[in-house]
Amino acid sequence: MLASTTTQRLFSLEEGLNMDQDQKQQILNRLNIIEGHIRGVKRMVEEDAYCIDVLNQTRAIAQALAKLDALILNRHLHSCVITAIRSEDVGERERVIAELMQVFERIH
């Protein structure tokens, strides 16, 4: 499920990993919160909470995921996309544009 399609790395770019370390930790913190939120929903289901209350929580998780996506996309645009588009490799440009279109169409 989680096999990387490319060896490109999320945060280790020539801008230096240290700035990324903060952002990386920010993303990990958000994932920890989402993980805790999922466990909270499990408890609600085990304790026979009202359906609508459970649905409100899964919506809040979906919104937290959307904010996480925005953080990662913003990071990607400022690193991988700029690097590829400013390169002389037209193939790299097409690759990052095709990837952005795929992300866009999957959430649309």
Binders of a second copy among residues 13 to 32 (CB under 8 A) are 24, 27-28, 31-32
Helix%, strand%, coil% for the chain, nearest 5: 80, 0, 20
* DSSP-derived secondary structure letter, 79: I
Counting contacts by CB under 8 A, is residue 105 touching a second copy?
Answer: yes
Total residues at the site for a second copy (CB under 8 A)? 73
Q: Is 92 in the site for a second copy (CB under 8 A)?
A: no
How does DSSP classify residue 12? Answer: -
Can you tell me the distance from the alpha carbon of 33 to that of 40, in angstroms, rounded to the nearest whole number?
A: 10
Return d(Cα 83, Cα 95) in angstroms, integer. 12
Task: Give the nearer residue to a second copy in terms of CB position, either 19 or 55.
Answer: 55
Q: Which of 16, 19, 40, 89 binds a second copy (CB under 8 A)?
A: 40
Q: Which is nearer to a second copy, 15 or 44 (CB)?
A: 44
What minimum distance in Å lies between the beta carbon of 25 and a second copy? 10
